[in-house]
């Protein structure tokens, strides 16, 4: 799996992303040719190498022609512009998703509906080229996943169509809600709405770069020179080599020592109902020798904030910590097998096309065992034996870590 990791030590903007991706190896001529269908004749693009501190970076500068259409566009105007272009369908779709996210952020800031938002700075041709160009460059690099470091933010004021606004701009703050950020004293707008929209729409997670083979590194130049630091974005292209079924998840944890077991037991199914992938509690010894519990929730990346808030509501903790993890999953399918007491579903784990694990469903075995007045292990073992007979496995095969025991 090919992963691009954006190291946003000096923030992120659309032109910085473009420069970094071109520096990674995107053919500038092929990229520019593919972009010409957007507002044809209304812009020019120049590529140059500039120094940001001690680092040679690539700068992709978009210049808008004097006769270009007005910069103020609504979401529908931008989407129509993308649809009329000759860009690949996947690039059009992902670019449109970025603009829809931008519109939703602006609408939240201004208290209106996304379709009524008038894009000012991000509606101009150069911003459209930045967004569609970044998506196109990722497609040309055959990137499977985009990940990012915590986003650096600076403090200053910038002139906008709404007057001077503090940075990060309100739309940027909205876009980065729930995302790890790092505050800087740099007197600059390190992260722009365009950059924030790109990394939050296209990105699959934030944190440390994944383990893998480093294929290339690229540096995209920021528009300003900052004292004492290179104003640049670093992009790393990695071959992660993830097996089938690999993805990312978030581990959320909270320690509690002032909840009764009944309350913890009530919170766990509620967290599962709210979208948790798994929930479990572990005994721990806390400060002052107090016995307590560590409540752990495995959450989808996109549900991180929602489930952290739910943990705060459902438990007595005053804080929830979290970190992203890689997962490798078996694909799953269910088959039904017959036993003398009724049918049982068996969950089969697949690695590619190979079945490497099988486990009869507990609830089915328990229900039949209760009805027949038998130990549950009897029904479980017979169901497992029936599965292996059906699969043509040799006698004594194992599944899910248990040796098969055939009982009458």
Are residues 221 and 133 part of one domain? Answer: yes
Q: Specify the DSSP element, H or E, that contains 96.
A: helix 89-110
Of 219, 239, 259, which residue sits at a domain end? 239
Residues 294 and 357 both lie in one domain: no
Task: Give the pLDDT of residue 73.
Answer: 77
Which of 184, 210, 239 is where one domain is finished?
239
Q: Among 19-23, 181-185, 350-354, which stretch is predicted with the lowest mean pLDDT?
A: 350-354
Note whether residue 224 is domain-resident: yes
- Give the residue from 313, 328, 343 where a domain finishes: 328
Q: Are 257 and 366 found together in one domain? A: no
Shared domain check, 180 and 99: yes
Give a yes or no: residue 341 inside a domain.
yes
Helix (H) or strand (E) holding 388: helix 376-391
Q: Tell me the two tokens of residue 174.
A: 């909205």
Q: How far, in Å, CA of 335 to CA of 329, rounded?
A: 19
76 in the same domain as 53: yes
CA 155 to chain CA centroid, Å, is 27
User: CB burial class (10 A; 0-12, 13-18, 19+) of residue 283?
Assistant: exposed
Domain for residue 60, yes or no? Answer: yes
41 with 164, same domain: the answer is yes
In a domain, 112, yes or no: yes
Average per-residue pLDDT for the chain? 87
The residue among 210 and 221 whose pLDDT is bigger is 221
Contact 222, 233 (CB under 8 A): yes
DSSP strand E in 191-320: where? Answer: 203-206, 213-221, 232-239, 246-256, 278-285, 291-300
pLDDT of residue 302: 84
Q: Which of 9-18, 87-96, 178-187, 241-250 has the lowest mean pLDDT?
A: 241-250
Tokens 């169509």 locate to 161
Residue 304 belongs to some domain of the structure: yes
Lowest mean pLDDT among 134-143, 182-191, 355-364, 399-408: 399-408
Would you tell me how many other CB atoms lie within 10 Å of the CB of residue 62? Answer: 20
Whether residue 255 is found in the same domain as residue 233 = no
Q: Does residue 66 sit in the same domain as residue 121? A: yes
Q: Strands 151-153 and 181-183, how do they pair?
A: parallel
Q: Crossing angle of helices 193-202/14-24, nearest 10°? A: 60
181 and 94 inside one domain: yes
Interval 22-51 mean pLDDT: 89
Q: Measured between alpha carbons, how far is 309 from 321 in angstroms, rounded to an integer? A: 11
b/e string for 320-351 if b means 16 or more Cβ within 10 A? Answer: bebebeeeeebeeeeeebebebeebbbbbbee
In a domain, 285, yes or no: yes
The number of folded domains in the chain is: 3
pLDDT band at 393 (very low <50, low <70, confident <90, very high): low
Give domain status of residue 408, yes or no. no
Give the pLDDT of residue 330: 85
Do 345 and 272 sit in the same domain of this protein? no
State whether 48 and 171 are in the same domain: yes
CATH code: domain of residue 397: 3.10.20.300
Tell me which of 154-158, 239-243, 255-259, 362-366 is least confident: 239-243
303-332 residue pLDDT tens: 899 999 999 999 999 999 998 888 888 888
CA distance 85 to 210: 35
pLDDT of residue 254: 95
- Supply the range of the domain harboring residue 314: 246-328
Q: Are residues 6 and 76 in the same domain?
A: yes
pLDDT at 123: 46
pLDDT tier at 235 (50, 70, 90 boundaries)?
A: very high
Residue 398: what pLDDT?
Answer: 47
CATH code, domain with 310: 3.30.70.1380
Q: Does residue 216 lie in a domain region?
A: yes
């Amino acid at each position: 799996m090919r992963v691009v990791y954006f190291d946003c030590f000096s923030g992120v903007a659309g032109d910085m992303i473009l420069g970094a991706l071109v520096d990674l190896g995107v053919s500038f001529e092929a990229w520019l040719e593919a972009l010409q269908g957007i507002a044809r004749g209304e812009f020019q693009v120049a590529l140059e190498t500039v120094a940001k501190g001690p680092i040679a970076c690539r700068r992709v500068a978009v210049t808008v022609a004097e006769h270009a259409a007005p910069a103020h566009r609504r979401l529908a105007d931008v989407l129509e512009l993308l649809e009329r272009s000759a860009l690949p369908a996947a690039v059009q779709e992902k670019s449109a998703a970025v603009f829809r996210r931008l519109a939703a952020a602006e609408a939240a800031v201004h208290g209106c509906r996304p379709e009524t938002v008038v894009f000012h700075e991000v509606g101009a041709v150069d911003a459209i080229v930045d967004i569609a160009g970044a998506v196109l460059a990722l497609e040309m690099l055959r990137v499977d996943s985009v990940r990012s470091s915590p986003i650096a933010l600076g403090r200053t004021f910038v002139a906008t169509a709404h007057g001077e606004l503090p940075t990060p701009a309100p739309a940027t703050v909205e876009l980065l809600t729930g995302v790890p950020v790092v505050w800087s004293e740099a007197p600059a707008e390190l992260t722009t709405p365009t950059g924030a929209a790109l990394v939050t729409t296209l990105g699959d997670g934030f944190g440390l770069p994944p383990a893998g083979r480093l294929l290339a590194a690229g540096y995209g130049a920021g528009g300003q020179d900052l004292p004492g630091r290179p104003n640049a974005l670093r992009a790393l292209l990695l071959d992660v080599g993830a097996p089938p079924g690999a993805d990312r998840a978030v581990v959320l944890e909270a320690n509690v020592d002032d909840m009764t077991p009944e309350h913890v037991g009530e919170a766990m199914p509620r967290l599962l109902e709210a979208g948790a992938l798994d929930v479990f509690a572990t005994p721990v010894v806390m400060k002052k020798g107090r016995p307590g519990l560590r409540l752990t929730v495995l959450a989808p990346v996109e549900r991180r904030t929602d489930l952290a808030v739910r943990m705060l509501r459902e438990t007595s903790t005053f804080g929830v910590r979290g970190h992203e993890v890689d997962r490798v999953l078996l694909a799953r399918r269910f088959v039904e097998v017959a036993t003398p007491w009724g049918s049982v579903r068996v969950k089969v784990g697949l690695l590619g096309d190979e079945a490497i694990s099988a486990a009869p469903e507990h609830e089915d075995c328990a229900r039949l065992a209760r009805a027949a007045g038998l130990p549950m292990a009897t029904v479980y073992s017979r169901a497992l034996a029936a599965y292996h007979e059906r699969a043509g496995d040799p006698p004594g095969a194992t599944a899910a870590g248990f040796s098969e025991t055939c009982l009458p």
